């Protein structure tokens, strides 16, 4: 970004004889931590009642030059549930199960800034998000009538990558090292390996059988082979707040 003389350094304020560790505007070599989310993602969190553990863990900016900024978002999420107990459902005597979910996502990108104003800053930029989602469910039950059992393991490991082109504006807040930002962008995401693989082992009168098949999340059909992927493009509007400091 370009800067006026009175804000040449993030740590210096011209209207005081003292020097502070924080100022009003970042420049080359400064860092910024920011929190932000798009309107559609926020709506999804609300509709699906997603916990805060699934929010991005860290987002930061680095001012490589006064008007050129590198940015990176990092997201990691993991959840595990275990079930083990004796039950009385029909002839089922015992049930054991566990569920694991994890997600790791990186979103590198850049911003090119144009304004020299200390109040309003306009920029354009791009991001290349990519990451992996994994899901696994293991389930086993034993029958009380004849000792037969059924064991099932379902797994999915999908890869996600895409692009995001955006334009934005940020408003610096008085003499604080803070800025409010608004962004509008067009995002495309490609998701591959969305199919679920199921390995099932069961017994009938003591004789053991096994099978492997594939399925999709909302389809009960069983496929011997399956490849499931999808691609979508959408626009979104995002709001962010940034906190700047010296390296």
Tell me the pLDDT tens digit for each residue of 97-130: 888 889 899 999 999 999 877 888 999 999 999 9
Higher-scoring residue by pLDDT: 63, 6: 63
Under the banding of pLDDT at 50, 70 and 90, the label for residue 22 is: very low
* pLDDT higher than 50, residue 165: yes
Helices (H) and strands (E) in the chain, counts: 1, 11
Q: Residue 34 in contact with residue 26, Cβ under 8 Å? A: no
- pLDDT band, residue 37 (cuts 50/70/90): low
Give the percent of the chain with pLDDT over 90: 39
pLDDT, position 35: 81
The DSSP output letter for 54 is G
Q: How many domains does the structure of the chain reveal?
A: 1
What's residue 175's pLDDT? 80
Q: Where is 63: in which H helix or E strand?
A: strand 58-65
Cα 72 to Cα 25: distance, rounded to the nearest angstrom: 20
Q: Average pLDDT, whole number, for the chain? A: 80
Looking at residue 65, its pLDDT comes to 92
Residue 204's pLDDT band (cuts 50, 70, 90): confident
What are the C-alpha distances in Å from 115 to residues 4, 26, 63, 120, 165?
11, 13, 15, 7, 19
Q: Give 46's contacts (C-beta < 8 A, 6+ positions apart).
A: none
- What confidence category does residue 15 fall into, taking pLDDT thresholds of 50, 70 and 90? very low
Using CA atoms, how far residue 3 sits from 72, 136, 194, 202, 243, in Å, is 23, 51, 47, 70, 17
Structural domain boundaries, residue 51: 5-245
Cα 197 to chain centroid distance, Å, stands at 24
User: What is the rounded end-to-end Cα distance, in angstroms, of the chain?
Assistant: 17
Res. 220: pLDDT tops 70: yes
pLDDT band, very low/low/confident/very high, at 69 (cuts 50, 70, 90): very high
Q: What is the pLDDT of residue 106?
A: 94
- φ, ψ (nearest 5 deg) of residue 175: -95, 15
Could you tell me which of 168, 93, 160, 104 has the C-alpha nearest to residue 130?
A: 160
pLDDT of residue 164: 94
163 or 219, greater pLDDT: 163
| DSSP collapsed to 3 states, 88-149 | EECCEEEEEEEEEEEEEEEEEEEEEECCCCCCEEEEEEEECCEEEEEEEEEEEEEECCCCCE
Question: Would you state the pLDDT for residue 71?
Answer: 94
pLDDT tens, position by position, 48-58: 544 444 445 57
* pLDDT mean over 139-144: 79
Lowest mean pLDDT among 34-43, 146-155, 180-189, 209-218: 34-43
Tokens found for residue 121: 């800053």
């Amino acid at each position: 970004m370009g800067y006026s003389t009175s804000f040449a350094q993030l740590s210096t304020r011209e209207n005081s004889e003292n020097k502070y560790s924080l100022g009003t505007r970042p420049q080359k070599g400064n860092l910024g931590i920011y929190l932000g989310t798009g309107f559609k993602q926020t709506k999804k969190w609300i509709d699906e009642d997603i916990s805060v553990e699934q929010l991005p863990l860290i987002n930061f900016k680095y001012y490589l030059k006064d008007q050129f900024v590198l940015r990176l978002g990092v997201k990691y999420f993991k959840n595990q549930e275990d079930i083990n107990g004796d039950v009385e459902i029909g002839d089922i005597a015992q049930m054991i199960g566990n569920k694991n979910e994890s997600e790791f996502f990186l979103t590198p990108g850049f911003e090119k800034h144009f304004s020299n104003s200390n109040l309003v800053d306009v920029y354009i930029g791009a991001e290349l998000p990519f990451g992996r989602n994994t899901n696994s469910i293991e389930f086993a039950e034993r029958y009380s009538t004849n000792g037969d059992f059924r064991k099932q393991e379902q797994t999915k490991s999908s890869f996600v990558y895409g692009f995001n082109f955006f334009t934005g504006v940020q408003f610096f807040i008085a003499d604080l090292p803070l800025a409010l930002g608004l962004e509008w962008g067009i995002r495309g995401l490609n998701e591959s390996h969305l199919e679920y693989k199921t390995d099932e082992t069961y017994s009938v009168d003591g004789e053991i059988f096994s099978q492997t098949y594939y399925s999709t999340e909302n389809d009960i059909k069983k496929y011997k082979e399956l490849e499931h992927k999808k691609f979508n493009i959408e626009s979104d509007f995002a709001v962010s707040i940034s906190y700047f400091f010296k390296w």
